[in-house]
Chains A and B, each alone.
Chain A
Amino acid sequence: MKLDSKIPEGPLEQKWSKYKKDMKLVAPNNKRKYEVIVVGTGLAGGAAAASMAELGYNVKSFCIQDSARRAHSIAAQGGINAAKNYPNDGDSIWGLFYDTIKGGDYRSREANVYRLAEVANEIIDQAVAQGVPFAREYSGLLANRSFGGAQVSRTFYARGQTGQQLLLGAYQAMMRQVHAGKIEYLPRHEMLDVVIIGGQARGIITRNLVTGEIKSWEADAVVLATGGYGNVFYLSTNAKNSNVTAAWRAHKKGALFANPCYVQVHPTCIPVSGDYQSKLTLMSESLRNDGRVWVPKKKGDDRHPNDIPEEDRFYYLEEKYPSFGNLVPRDVASRNAKIVCDEGLGVGETGLAVYLDFRDAIKRDGRETVEAKYGNLFDMYENIAGENPYERPMRIYPAVHYTMGGLWVDYNLMTNIPGLFATGEANFSDHGANRLGASALMQGLSDGYFVLPATIGNYLADVKPGTRHGTDHTAFVEAEKAAQENIDKLLSINGKRTIVDFHRTLGKIVWDKIGIARNKEDLESAIKEIQELREEFWANVYVPGEKNNYNKYLEFASRVADFFELAELMAKDALDREESCGCHLREEYQSEEGEAIRNDEDFSYVAAWEYKGINGELKEELHKENLEFEFVELKQRSYK
């Protein structure tokens, strides 16, 4: 299979504008003859559904939540980047592009990232016009703040709820089109398969999560905006219902899955307190501006942290990275927390935590100043951890937060299956091996508002309007039957272990062996353990209830089954990539000081995997898309 990224020719800064000019258009009177399915209603899906409906396409919008407004984009805290250069601090589209491609450790496409940086300004305009209440200065103009991995202030924010406000903007735009009759809105529906006829994506199969009804939907194009796969780890900062099922089922129908081993682990989360724990809560990265990270120098030092004197404290980030100190990028901070905990220096009941201490900041600036900056975060911490962070250092530990890997797409955001598109976190395209803060919202909305609505027209222009095969076509009938059989099988096993038990066990394998640091031996044993546990799952899982009713555990069982397969692919991908880059640290490829060593000569490619069947072992064929760097020079990142 030859992977064609379809990157337009020409200078970097003219590629997108020239391409837009060259793309084929669909006439307004023809747009109404096309049906487009959008799965997922987060920033990428909601924005795409609204924008395509405004253009005149007939859109069907599906989500698993009870309302489009609850998609997990809502939980994003920090902000959204754009190179408006309002602060006059030297920002530019090039600067945003460069920081993003460098932050991704040179494992993304130049053309895609440049387009992202270019489109970002329009997103801010669009959101403001919708009434999104961004933070403002006393002048009445928009405020900016700085974020990790950049030397300028380019992040727009709405308190700590930027994702919520942007999502509500997209949701409201979507509901306007529901009112106009251009969007058929189908919440509490889960996509179980994509249907391909004549090599083109022609529809999907869904399960109605209230009635259990399995149903076919036909369309001219299908857009998957179904988010990331962080919940393969069981514990992550993702919402509980976030899953890989739509993307994975598309993968099993032939869509390539790219870079599955690129997973971002966020360094500042509230640590796990026990087995019952269902999810992890993120504390904003901004805390590292004033908090100092440390562990006791002596193993098993069980003194109250405030009683541990300065000479017995190990400020490991400040010591190892004197120039960036506590503000090293996410991957570096996470990795070092793991290293000190693995050495037995971790704190708290589980030993899997480090201190984030505000004692010195409070002494220096006063409690009021610290409270004004971080009050809501301190309250959140106290509410969850039951300790007062003004008086006792916070305990923090890294947690899985975002997945850079996803369905392989070309410059048009189309997968290798014609008519099947993937946007937002569900695709792999823009963040390389590491995503910078405040870039996820930017990418979701860039794809949804501006890129996909343009590129999908270029595809549809070649599809004869009104082509219908009918949902009684064998491809639909067979896909429906397979979806039904999968559900029947899960319900029939009637084993002894619960779904949560299996998922938690799987998550532990993935976290321990395909987590912050990987090595050949662990990855090989992870593959074996995953295969064995998967076999046990299919023989011994207990799924309660019935299929023709609301049954959340049945939903979970079907999603966990897919996580079992994805987990094996993640291990294979991590094993194949014999280098360290961004969030992917292979212990065999690091310097004596423990810094990641990239191998551009042999691994400057996108690993795109093709599903070849599963029978005890997952069979996948690797295809490589070489990354060409015409405009930037590849450098080793250093934060020393």
Chain B
Amino acid sequence: MTIHLKYWKQDGPDVPGHFEEYTLNTVNEHMSFLEMLDVLNEELQLEGKDPVEFDYDCREGICGSCNLVINGQAHGPKAKVACCQLHMRNYKNGDKITIEPPRAAAFPIIKDLVVNRGAFDRIIEAGGYVSVKTGSAQEANAIPIEKEKSDAAFDYATCIGCGACVAACPNASASLFTGAKLAHLNHVPQGEVERSNRVVAMVDQMKEEGFGDCSNFAECEAVCPVGISISAIAEMRRDYMKAMFS
């Protein structure tokens, strides 16, 4: 099938970018979205043109590298998949597709569709862990955890750190990402000891990075490829207030 593509080109964080257009006639329905971009890049190179840069690695929806905004939607039209798991059978012959990077002040553009998400690492660095040294752990079954709680912790721990939540948020907030890590660790007893310090450190770091605040649009939950619930944010705010007054 034929797809009309419009994609963002930008040489670096401090230079202006622009859209370029290309009509690709060799798309088939079995291709993944990123394979369609591979084909685009092969054609561009054979025509002596500059390929478009985009981030990817595992291509099975788990590493969180890919983070394209497709026709205005983070990860495109299919719910609960990263764009590497989006297939061209979701499109039809003659469709127009616009591809942009996630746009947020805290995610400066490196090149074209590739952005710097180092801010996410720094939020984790501020406190997204249990401070246990290698070798100092007790016997694993010495800490029983209710199955429901453990399953709930998993539901938050499954965050892939792609940044779609930031891209979709009108305030470019990282609340869902930060809240998910907090909720994961708060739902298991191992995380309890550092609970107050952790929430303050991570929320403050999130603000320092230039992410906006949450105004309950819930766009983040709608685009999250692994379905993290926005209740993580409510819990984060409650904990933050509690920590401030204690």
Q: Are A128 and B60 in contact (CB under 8 A)?
A: no
Q: Does B172 contact A (CB under 8 A)?
A: no
Q: Could you tell me the distance between the alpha carbons of A551 and B116 in the complex, rounded to whole angstroms?
A: 15
Q: Are B129 and A172 in contact (CB under 8 A)?
A: yes
B109 to A, closest residue via Cβ: A550
* Cβ-neighbour of B56 out of A126, A172, A240 (below 8 A): A240
Q: Could you tell me the distance between the alpha carbons of A240 and B57 in the complex, rounded to whole angstroms?
A: 5
Q: Does B225 contact A (CB under 8 A)?
A: no
Q: Could you tell me the distance between the alpha carbons of A279 and B34 in the complex, rounded to whole angstroms?
A: 11
Q: Are B130 and A68 in contact (CB under 8 A)?
A: no
B106-147 with Cβ < 8 A to chain A: 110-111, 114, 116-118, 120-121, 124-141, 143-147
Residues in B whose Cβ lies below 8 Å from that of A545: 50-51
Residues in B whose Cβ lies below 8 Å from that of A133: 150-151, 153-154, 157, 184, 188
Q: Are B131 and A136 in contact (CB under 8 A)?
A: no
* Cβ-neighbour of A383 out of B29, B81, B111 (below 8 A): B81
Residues in B whose Cβ lies below 8 Å from that of A175: 121, 124-125, 128-129
Binds B, one of A269-277, A388-396, A585-593, A615-623: A269-277
- What is the size category of the interface that chain A forms with chain B? 35 or more
Given contacts A125-B139, A187-B121, contact A274 B28 (CB under 8 A): yes
A349 to B, closest residue via Cβ: B30
Residues in A whose Cβ lies below 8 Å from that of B125: 175-176, 178-179
B65 to A, closest residue via Cβ: A70
B11 to A, closest residue via Cβ: A549
Q: Are A449 and B134 in contact (CB under 8 A)?
A: yes
Q: Does B71 contact A (CB under 8 A)?
A: no
Binds B, one of A88-96, A157-165, A430-438: A157-165
B152 to A, closest residue via Cβ: A133
Q: Could you tell me the distance between the alpha carbons of A50 and B134 in the complex, rounded to whole angstroms?
A: 8
Q: State how many angstroms separate the Cβ of B110 from the closest Cβ of chain A.
A: 5
Q: Are B131 and A128 in contact (CB under 8 A)?
A: no
Q: Are B63 and A74 in contact (CB under 8 A)?
A: yes
Q: Are A239 and B63 in contact (CB under 8 A)?
A: yes
Q: Does A131 contact B (CB under 8 A)?
A: yes
Q: Are A136 and B145 in contact (CB under 8 A)?
A: yes
Per-position binary interface string of chain A over residues 492-507, scored 1 when its CB falls under 8 Å from any chain B CB and 0 otherwise: 0000001011000000
Q: Are A67 and B120 in contact (CB under 8 A)?
A: yes
Given contacts A140-B145, A158-B154, A498-B42, contact A172 B137 (CB under 8 A): no
Q: Could you tell me the distance between the alpha carbons of A69 and B158 in the complex, rounded to whole angstroms?
A: 12
Q: Are B134 and A70 in contact (CB under 8 A)?
A: no
Q: Are A129 and B130 in contact (CB under 8 A)?
A: yes
Q: Does B209 contact A (CB under 8 A)?
A: no
Q: Are B50 and A544 in contact (CB under 8 A)?
A: yes
Q: Does B178 contact A (CB under 8 A)?
A: no
* Cβ-neighbour of B190 out of A128, A136, A161, A185 (below 8 A): A128
Q: Could you tell me the distance between the alpha carbons of A65 and B118 in the complex, rounded to whole angstroms?
A: 11
Q: Does B102 contact A (CB under 8 A)?
A: no
Q: Could you tell me the distance between the alpha carbons of A447 and B52 in the complex, rounded to whole angstroms?
A: 39
Residues in A whose Cβ lies below 8 Å from that of B157: 131-133, 165, 168
B136 to A, closest residue via Cβ: A129
Q: Does B218 contact A (CB under 8 A)?
A: no
Given contacts A133-B154, A165-B157, contact A187 B118 (CB under 8 A): yes
Q: Could you tell me the distance between the alpha carbons of A165 and B184 in the complex, rounded to whole angstroms?
A: 11
Given contacts A133-B150, A187-B118, A545-B50, contact A75 B62 (CB under 8 A): yes
Q: State how many angstroms separate the Cβ of B227 from the closest Cβ of chain A.
A: 12
Given contacts A50-B134, A140-B146, contact A131 B184 (CB under 8 A): yes
Q: Are A176 and B131 in contact (CB under 8 A)?
A: yes
Residues in B whose Cβ lies below 8 Å from that of A282: 60
A382-422 with Cβ < 8 A to chain B: 383-384, 386
Q: Could you tell me the distance between the alpha carbons of A545 and B53 in the complex, rounded to whole angstroms?
A: 11
Q: Does A84 contact B (CB under 8 A)?
A: yes
Residues in B whose Cβ lies below 8 Å from that of A341: none
* Cβ-neighbour of B64 out of A51, A70, A449, A542 (below 8 A): A70
Q: Could you tell me the distance between the alpha carbons of A357 and B124 in the complex, rounded to whole angstroms?
A: 44
Q: Could you tell me the distance between the alpha carbons of A568 and B18 in the complex, rounded to whole angstroms?
A: 44
Q: Are A279 and B188 in contact (CB under 8 A)?
A: no
A237 to B, closest residue via Cβ: B60
Q: Are A141 and B144 in contact (CB under 8 A)?
A: yes
Q: Does A321 contact B (CB under 8 A)?
A: no
Q: Are A136 and B147 in contact (CB under 8 A)?
A: yes
Q: Does B31 contact A (CB under 8 A)?
A: yes
Q: Are A130 and B190 in contact (CB under 8 A)?
A: yes
Q: Does A210 contact B (CB under 8 A)?
A: yes
Q: Could you tell me the distance between the alpha carbons of A329 and B220 in the complex, rounded to whole angstroms?
A: 43
Q: Are B132 and A129 in contact (CB under 8 A)?
A: yes
Q: Does B223 contact A (CB under 8 A)?
A: no
Q: Could you tell me the distance between the alpha carbons of A133 and B143 in the complex, rounded to whole angstroms?
A: 12
Q: Are B45 and A498 in contact (CB under 8 A)?
A: yes
Residues in B whose Cβ lies below 8 Å from that of A128: 137, 140, 143, 190
* Cβ-neighbour of A74 out of B58, B130, B145, B191 (below 8 A): B58
Q: Could you tell me the distance between the alpha carbons of A449 and B126 in the complex, rounded to whole angstroms?
A: 22
A140 to B, closest residue via Cβ: B144
Q: Are A131 and B130 in contact (CB under 8 A)?
A: yes
Residues in A whose Cβ lies below 8 Å from that of B11: 549
With A140-B145, A551-B53 given, can you name 8 additional A-B contacts, CB distance below 8 Å?
A75-B63, A129-B137, A141-B141, A173-B129, A276-B28, A276-B35, A544-B51, A550-B110
Listed by A's residue number, 7 A-B pairs whose Cβ atoms lie within 8 Å are: A54-B134, A69-B64, A74-B62, A128-B137, A137-B147, A274-B31, A276-B36
- Which residues of A line the B interface, CB within 8 A? 47, 50-51, 54, 65-70, 72, 74-75, 84, 86, 122, 124-142, 158-159, 161, 164-165, 168, 171-173, 175-176, 178-179, 185, 187, 210, 239-241, 273-274, 276-279, 281-282, 383-384, 386, 449-450, 453, 498, 500-501, 542, 544-545, 549-553
